Structure 1
Amino acid sequence: MAALPPLNSVLASGSDVDDPLASALATLFEPSPILYSDLVPGLAAYIPASSRPIAMYSDLIDASLAVISTWSDDLKAQFIAGHPRIGEVKGLSHLSAKEQAAAATPPEVLARLAHLNACYEYRYPGLRYITFVNRRTRAMIKDEMEGVLRLEPSLSSNQPVVETVGRVEVAGEEWKKELERAVVDVGKIAKSRLKSLGVD
């Protein structure tokens, strides 16, 4: 089970990958290259310069989102790609596996989700579908993804053909809106993880 270091040690640490700040952020947001190369040092610089005190871990998440909000779209897209795809069952962190309830999902739903991920990533180049699961089943997320992609409900693992879902322009209005929605949901996921860890 993942655990968070004491907040005072996090706030007093540096920006090395072995420091408590990096460990805490990797637990809350999932470890990824962009987390270590950009979020950790960005947050380490932001904390002492901020006029808002960080008294709880939820404040640290808010500060992280403030740092992320200053990033380019490309950095934001790399950051959300640090989260596993909906429906993945291998290589998940303990918290991701718990959130996605891997053992309770029928194989046909997993196959449909894999296809929907491919459709989504074709439609929104460079993005990964992220959503705050909030105890919903993967079958419910399947329905949500079909709604986002404007597809009829189905359990097909190969329909529609990926290339027929249409493609939005990278950095266009719809693409940016979807990117920002994903960043917001990453914050919701992080705060939900705090609750599951029994931390404020």
Structure 2
Amino acid sequence: MDSLPPLPQLPPNQRTALLDTLFEPCPPLHTLSLPLLSTPTLSFPTYSDLIRAIRSQLFSLLKSSKPSDVEWLDSILRAHPRLGAKKVESKLSRGEQGAMGGGGAGVTEEERREKEEESEKLRVLNEEYENKFPGLIYMVFVNGRSRPVIMEDMRRRIDRGDIDAERAEAIEALCLVANDRAKKLQE
């Protein structure tokens, strides 16, 4: 899906593709949120309205006392690719992660080595994060920030050590990414 269809009267066969475009392909998110797009009494005049409703669903899972709801939330949050991953399936995710800076044409040997060192540091931080918060991956809305800035944020969050705060930040990041994608695809 290269552009977003008008939200009102979205055909049933495009609902899953819409969620996959805004968030990432994720069957647990489909199970959770496709009913929103199928309920005739619910109306979402804008993509922001839909994303806000999905955000509410995700926070309901976070606030639930049922371990299965939190596991379900974690499976949705893990659908996004790991930051700095070499193989990223989603074209949108590749572009978003590429905005973090990773080299390219015209890069000197020294710049290439620096990028490799940053990549290794990011890999180590990802592992540390995932060991600290089993079942989660680090989620952030990159929004043009550099790797060093992102890695400082990752370090701060690892040191904070609060898994519920991590889930809340991941939900916010997921929704910021979805809103950014919607905006870009509507331009």
Fold equivalence (TM over 0.5)? yes
User: Residues 74-126 of structure 1: CA distance to partner in whole angstroms, max 9, x if unpaired?
Assistant: 11111010001111131331111111116832122111111111100110111
Corresponding residue for residue 169 of structure 2: 181
Unpaired runs of at least 5, structure 1:
14-18, 152-167, 169-173
Corresponding residue for residue 16 of structure 1: none
Corresponding residue for residue 154 of structure 1: none
Deviation, structure 1 residue 9: 3.9
The higher-RCO structure (CA 8 Å, 6+ apart) is: 2
Corresponding residue for residue 55 of structure 1: 45
TM-score, scaled to structure 2:
0.79
Q: Is the 8 A contact 1:131 1:186 kept in 2?
A: yes
Corresponding residue for residue 107 of structure 1: 116
Q: Is the 8 A contact 1:2 1:95 kept in 2?
A: no
Show structure 1 runs of 4+ deviating over 6 A. Answer: none
Distance 1:62 1:68 in 2: 10
Corresponding residue for residue 117 of structure 1: 126
Corresponding residue for residue 25 of structure 2: 31
Corresponding residue for residue 162 of structure 1: none
Distance 1:181 1:122 in 2: 18
Distance 2:168 2:22 in 1: 18
- From the superposition, tell whether residues 84 and 195 of structure 1 become closer, same or farther in structure 2 (CA, over 3 Å): same
Distance 1:122 1:43 in 2: 34
Q: Is the 8 A contact 2:100 2:146 kept in 1?
A: no
Confirm or deny that 1:98 pairs with 2:95.
Answer: yes
Distance 2:37 2:122 in 1: 37
Distance 2:56 2:101 in 1: 35
Deviation, structure 1 residue 3: 2.2
Q: Is the 8 A contact 2:157 2:166 kept in 1?
A: no
User: Residues 42-96 of structure 1: CA distance to partner in whole angstroms, max 9, x if unpaired?
Assistant: 4245x4344xx31111111112222223332111111010001111131331111
Q: Is the 8 A contact 1:87 1:113 kept in 2?
A: yes
Corresponding residue for residue 147 of structure 1: 156
1:132 corresponds to which of 119, 125, 141: 141
1:84 corresponds to which of 81, 84, 97: 81
Overall identity of the aligned pairs, in %: 33
* Root mean square deviation, CA, Å: 2.3
User: Residues 11-69 of structure 1: CA distance to partner in whole angstroms, max 9, x if unpaired?
Assistant: x52xxxxx2111111000010231233332x4245x4344xx31111111112222223
Letter matched to residue 176 of structure 2:
K
- From the superposition, tell whether residues 143 and 60 of structure 1 become closer, same or farther in structure 2 (CA, over 3 Å): same
1:21 corresponds to which of 15, 18, 36: 15
Q: How many residues align?
A: 168
Q: Is the 8 A contact 2:20 2:26 kept in 1?
A: yes
| Aligned-partner SS, 2:124 | helix
Structure number with the higher helix fraction is 2
Confirm or deny that 1:195 pairs with 2:183.
Answer: yes
Letter matched to residue 127 of structure 2:
A
Q: Is the 8 A contact 1:121 1:129 kept in 2?
A: yes
Q: Is the 8 A contact 2:51 2:179 kept in 1?
A: yes
Q: Is the 8 A contact 2:25 2:79 kept in 1?
A: yes
